[in-house]
Amino acid sequence: MKCSKCAEKAVYHRRYEGTYYCKNHFIYMFEKRFLKEIRKSKMLHRKDIVAVGLSGGKDSSSLLYLFNKFAKMFGIEVVAIGIDEGLKKYRPKTLKAASKLCKSIGVGYHIVSFKSGIGVSLDDLPKKLKKRKINWCSWCGVWRRWLLNKSAKKFGATKLAVGHNLDDEAQSILMNFMRGDWRHLQYKPDDKNDCVDAGFIRRIKPLGWAPEKETTLYATLLRLPFCSAECPRSFGMLRRKVGRLLNEIELAHPGTKQQVICTADRIKASSKTGIKAASVCKQCGEVSANKICRACEMRQIVGK
Ligand SMILES: [Zn+2]
Ligand SMILES: [Zn+2]
């Protein structure tokens, strides 16, 4: 197949749009869309220090590369933070890829571990919880977000960027439906809360529009060092099942994932009571809707 824009060989077919892209036109489209998203949602201000949560996977690697490429244009500084949850059979290889990328583009990389930041690594969790059946993604996700927020502020960042793609976003929305978590479906992030002093740091997701296939292709075409291993603890978890289901439906009905996100955006827009995390956790000072945040509750359970 030929590119829809020129005579070159196509490397990608965007099925929901019916367009074919050659390597150059794909990269051009991907970067243009990234810039558009940042401008549209007013994600950046000049002099921002953007902390990118860098896991070493294709999404966050693409994201860091993009921020670094356009840093001068935006007038921002970029740092990368890696969270090491302590899965010995998995994390070291992804952190290695992440370090390699940071070195090659000259971005500082800070690695923060669960062990040092929380006092317990994920590998130690079964010992600590004894009889409990462990929902790994939940424990990991809550602590990861908490530690990333804290670390971003510690390293002087004014924005925290995460590499969530369209697939991740659509999965999260469906999971909220399935778990009856209507609060999250109504939650409107308060974009005005740019102030770091108050404990808030705005979290931005400039790749939320990009299907996983596209972030993978972008990182591959640019030969970014990234690790494609999947977390061994995520097998059997709800997110993986929802992801498979969505892929199956998307194949037969292209554009489904976008529709899921559009619907959720409309629910948010029509919700009168945007639920805001108005207060801070009494224990750690991080933003929380309750007196004690979920991360601190979970730390108490394991005695930390
Ligand atoms: Zn082309
Ligand atoms: Zn807390």
Smallest-distance ligand from the CA of 9: 1
The CA 117 to ligand 2 mean position distance, Å, reads 13
The beta-carbon contacts of 261-265 under 8 Å, at least 24 apart in sequence, are 261/166, 261/169, 261/170, 261/173, 261/208, 263/173, 264/173, 264/185
The CA 199 to ligand 1 mean position distance, Å, reads 46
Smallest-distance ligand from the CA of 19: 1
- Residue 135: per-residue pLDDT: 86
- Residue 190: per-residue pLDDT: 54
The residues whose Cβ lies within 5 A of ligand 2, an ion, are 281, 283-284, 293, 296
- Residue 279: per-residue pLDDT: 79
The CA 29 to ligand 1 mean position distance, Å, reads 10
Smallest-distance ligand from the CA of 147: 2
Smallest-distance ligand from the CA of 27: 1
- Residue 195: per-residue pLDDT: 47
The CA 31 to ligand 1 mean position distance, Å, reads 15
The CA 3 to ligand 1 mean position distance, Å, reads 5
Distance CA 69, CA 206 (A): 14
Q: Which residues contact 130 (CB under 8 A, 6 or more apart)?
A: none
The CA 215 to ligand 1 mean position distance, Å, reads 18
* Whole-prediction pTM: 0.92
pLDDT along the chain (304 residues), means of 10: 97 94 98 97 95 97 98 98 94 96 97 95 89 85 94 95 96 92 73 53 94 97 94 86 96 95 89 64 87 94 88
Smallest-distance ligand from the CA of 8: 1
The CA 68 to ligand 2 mean position distance, Å, reads 32
The CA 22 to ligand 1 mean position distance, Å, reads 4
Distance CA 78, CA 108 (A): 8
Phi, psi (rounded to 5 degrees) for 41: -95, 10
